[in-house]
Amino acid sequence: MVRPIGILAGLGIVTAVLWSLLWGAVAYIQSPPQMSAEHYVQHHFQPKKDISFSFDGPFGTYNNQQLQRGFQVYKEVCSACHSLKLVAFRDLEQIGFSKPEVKAIAKGWAIETPTLNPDTGEPSTRKSVASDRFPLPFANDIAARAANNNAIPPDQSLLAKARDEGPHYIYRLLTGYGTQPAELLKKYPDVKTPTGLHYNPYFPNLNLAMAPPLTGEGQVSYSDGTKATVPQMAEDVSAFLMWTAEPKLDQRHRVGWAALIFLFVFTSLTYMAYKSIWADKKNKSL
């Protein structure tokens, strides 16, 4: 009695699965899914922007000269809106700045203190020191929204690790601003860039509040004489933001390779010890 019931139950499950597959196939044929505007742009209007960084791959290392240029771009362009609240000024020593240079950089930023100015009632400020973290560009979220078309600029400390493809995505975004294609608007009229937003095919929903931050060649004057084109500035600041997100990358690579070499040597010695210990016993057993 149990066996026929089991067979019937199995047939019922198989029938339900086949019916679901058949019904799904019919529904797909009758109403095929429509490609979203974002996927359409990804396949038709995203120019290929391949770029390689010195830190790519398991043997990659940071280029301190590039990181210093990237910091300069952040300081002169990005810091007006974006914070680096997890980075301290003294961390800049890791990318080649000397202690006096770090102190001089820190003095260029003012930081609010808990006390109020007794004459004006406004928060008092002091010059930053090397142990301070980079101050926020806005006093609060309300001020940030008011200055950025109701959008809060994200903190950039971990931005390169929070986005898929990290620095490569940042580079594409910074160099990807343009005019919305007429073909896209004809096919997807609902995605027309609203007033106050800016079209960028690399941004997830195609339109973002941030205006193009890199506006043209010479916007930044590099101290090392490098020509400050838009692609160059975008590459440098992308590399710098990768460093802020993962400052120990070089060390991690070195430790990783040392661990792999140790495991290889240890495995080889273990295997040779195994062969040495068991060689006599195998010969005796024969």
Task: Tell me whether residue 78 is annotated as binding.
Answer: yes
Whole-number Å distance between alpha carbons of 165 and 219: 26
N residues, the chain: 286
How would DSSP label each residue in 187-217? H-GGGPPPTT-EE-TTSTTSEESS--S--ST
Task: Tell me whether residue 272 is annotated as binding.
Answer: no
For 190, counting Cβ atoms within 10 Å of its Cβ (0-12 exposed, 13-18 middle, 19+ buried), the class is: exposed
Residue 218 structure tokens: 């010479």
Task: Tell me whether residue 81 is annotated as binding.
Answer: yes
Q: Are 153 and 110 in contact (CB under 8 A)?
A: no
Residue 194 structure tokens: 């609203």
Binding-site residues for heme c sit at: 78, 81-82, 210
Binding-site residues sit at: 78, 81-82, 210
